[in-house]
Structure 1
Amino acid sequence: MNEQNQIILGLGSNQGDRLKNIESAIESIHNEVGTVVKISNLYESPSWGFESEPFYNCAILIHSYSNADEILHQILEIEKKLGRVRSEKQGYQQRIIDIDIISFNESVIETENLVVPHPFLQERLFVLVPIRDLDSNWIHPINKKHIAELISNFEGKINCVLVQKMKSPLESIHLEKYNYIIIEGNIGAGKTTLVNKIAEDFNAKTVLERFADNPFLPKFYEDQNRYAFPLEMSFLADRYQQISDDLAQFDLFKDFIVADYHIFKSLLFAKVTLTEDEYRLYRKLFEIIYKEMPKPDLYIYLYQNTERLLENIKVRGRSYEQDIEADYLEKINFGYLDYIKTQKDLNVLVIDISDKDFVKNQQDYLYILKEIQNKFKN
């Protein structure tokens, strides 16, 4: 899964309860379009290009997997829902709410329906000043100027008046309270995608399993009996080395660590794949290593039913996974759940995502965040 798109949106209102209009738009964007990661201060400024009441303006940074056209369609629907009626008249007009795509990553977009960045962006302080609040390193992709450079052209002419500070919806979700979070799940459950998404949204360091580098994995799926033991030993050694190294390297610029595996999975998969004699030997080695491993502050298990797992495996298209059988996945699921039941000193949260799609549906992602938040409160 690729990184999320970083999109800056500009919001404005000069009709009715301007503050409420802006707040309602931000809430709708966060719930329906993408994760609102940052919000600028709220400013008041004169109308631009026509005579009218002054505007309230702010800018927000959102993360989303949606493309620019999808984002445009969604924000137009939100404008309509909040009461904006677009007139056929030419020129600028008053509006209850106005939501514009200011930037989409570092892209230059020119289509019939969308131009990014806006051709008049460098002339609009009511957009530039809020963008500066986002602490964004964004550089205009055409003239190659940083926001600070663009604003400097208006020295002595700044007419944006600070109204109030705004709060991001994420500010109430304190994942940094957990120094070390592990998100586990069966093959195809989406654990790595969720880890990356949370890390991007909450400024966390990731520890991701290096399964793709294991030379025994494709061979194992072709001949499990022959390659099970070297595969599991290889995984155990690699997981031990990676966790030891990554957790020892403190990152001053990240708020916490989130990983897509717990070293216990080594024992769980070994129990399914190894013969009885091989497993006894493997467990002795595992228990020596396990005692040295740090325990997570929160262990999340993403449960998905077998049917959904098989669908996900097929969609992601890894050739060596296509012959995985339902029975094998069910054994893995049972193994995880049995392990969770026995871990009395582990802070465990099980989230059933069998009917969820947190990549395509923002509400499903927010559901997961709410479950984590509720766990912290309890």
Structure 2
Amino acid sequence: MGDRLDFIQKAVHQIYKTIGDVVSISSVYQTPAWGFNSRDFYNICIAVQTNISGIEVLDILLEIENVLGRKRTDSNNGYEARTIDLDIIFSSEGVITTKKLILPHPAMQDRKFVLEPLAEIAGDVVHPKLKETVKKILETTSDNSKIIKLNDTIIFPKDTYSLSRFQYLTIEGNIGAGKTSLAKLIAKEFNAKLILERFADNPFLPKFYEDMERYAFPLEMSFLADRYQRLQEDIAQFDLFKDFVVSDYDVFKSLIFAKVTLQSDEFMLYKKVFDLMYKNLAKPGLYVYLYQNTERLLQNIKKRGRDYEQKIPAEYLDKINKGYLQFIKSQSEFNVKVVDVSEIDFIENRSDFVSIIEKIAQ
């Protein structure tokens, strides 16, 4: 019913936002109505990477159908025209037999409108019960419906965000804000090269949290030297005009932390060294700052359980947050996006993750 392509595209976008990454999309196939008289249907198959169960996926699909205006009635023994119809055909969970969900879909082998697009993206997948590939099942199906492959295409949802146009994307944030987790998720989703800060071996870090005044200068100098060296080495591996690179830090964070932790005379000396190093480094195409309130930061720090971080005072985190925000305001030449993640969980909630992607892409 309605604009068939538009409903399919909207459904694919909703699946991407709520279930997982859409990794394959078949061509669009026009097929006659199956089991009743109606206008021809449009059908596609997609493959989705997700970490939620088939039962959970089914509930989300039913909700997407509702959002897109599907009205279920008892007419035509269950067969009728509709705005959208979403079914699970296969799952990596294998065979599922419950009142709510049966997988593989029990009627797939008898429906060419399923098999044709499915064979395009999963032709070599073996049906766990029939013990035959999808291609073979398509060849032997009893359904002789006329299938027309259309020239129309459905767009991959993540292609609409075009994050690779930034070439070099930096995710920054306070201690425990989730910058490393977000950088990893983006790199995986958008096939980006990943640069992560390596700080676990810094011998001054545990000492600093025990006695900040004494160990601040050697800590900040060692961080600066290490960040500069590693960024130079890591970025040199890539062609920033061809590769999409995501990092979970920028060397400028050294200056922000140093301003909070160092005495004024120490900071002046530190900044001279910093300025010499910084001018030689590639600058990110977009600098994303994850803002998270101090209460959530402390919860995250406690949750990840690094012993040497458990004594970090809230006042220190407040100062770091203020330092970042002052830096962002002062850098007019930087392309900066501030994203407040205080009330969301982009690791556990797919829609929260996609909402961040949307904000970055704006």
TM range (shorter): 0.7 to 0.9
The equivalent residue for 1:130 is 117
Query: How many Å apart are 1:270 and its aligned residue?
Result: 2.4
The equivalent residue for 2:314 is 326
More strand by share: 1
The equivalent residue for 2:287 is 299
Distance 1:153 1:35, change over 3 A: closer
Percent of paired sites with the same residue: 49
The equivalent residue for 1:247 is 235
Match of 2:43 among 30, 54, 57: 57
1:203–1:255 contact (8 Å) kept in structure 2: no
1:359–1:365 contact (8 Å) kept in structure 2: yes
Match of 2:135 among 151, 160, 181: 151
1:107–1:141 contact (8 Å) kept in structure 2: no
Distance in 2 separating the partners of 1:138 and 1:279:
62
- State the TM-score, normalizing by the size of structure 1: 0.75
Distance in 2 separating the partners of 1:318 and 1:52:
64
Distance 1:328 1:156, change over 3 A: same
**Matched ranges for 1:215-254 at <5 A:** 215-250=203-238
Query: How many Å apart are 1:114 and its aligned residue?
Result: 4.2
2:109–2:138 contact (8 Å) kept in structure 1: no
What are the ranges of 5 or more consecutive residues in structure 2 without an aligned counterpart?
A: none
2:168–2:284 contact (8 Å) kept in structure 1: yes
Query: How many Å apart are 1:215 and its aligned residue?
Result: 4.7
Paired residue type of 1:72: L
The equivalent residue for 1:267 is 255
- State the TM-score, normalizing by the size of structure 2: 0.78
Query: How many Å apart are 1:29 and its aligned residue?
Result: 2.7
Distance in 1 separating the partners of 2:81 and 2:201:
54
Distance in 2 separating the partners of 1:71 and 1:175:
27
The equivalent residue for 2:181 is 193
Query: Aligned residues, how many?
Result: 353
Residues 241-286 of structure 1 show CA distances to partners (whole Å, capped at 9, x for unaligned) of 321222122379x851111110111222223234445444443433
**Higher-Rg member (1/2):** 2
Question: Residue 360 of structure 2 aligns to a residue in which SS?
Answer: helix
Distance 1:279 1:72, change over 3 A: same
The equivalent residue for 1:25 is 11
Q: Does 1:337 align with 2:288?
A: no
The equivalent residue for 1:203 is 191
Stretch deviating more after TM superposition (241-250 or 53-62):
53-62
Distance in 2 separating the partners of 1:138 and 1:222:
59
Paired residue type of 1:272: V
Distance in 2 separating the partners of 1:128 and 1:245:
49
The equivalent residue for 2:164 is 176
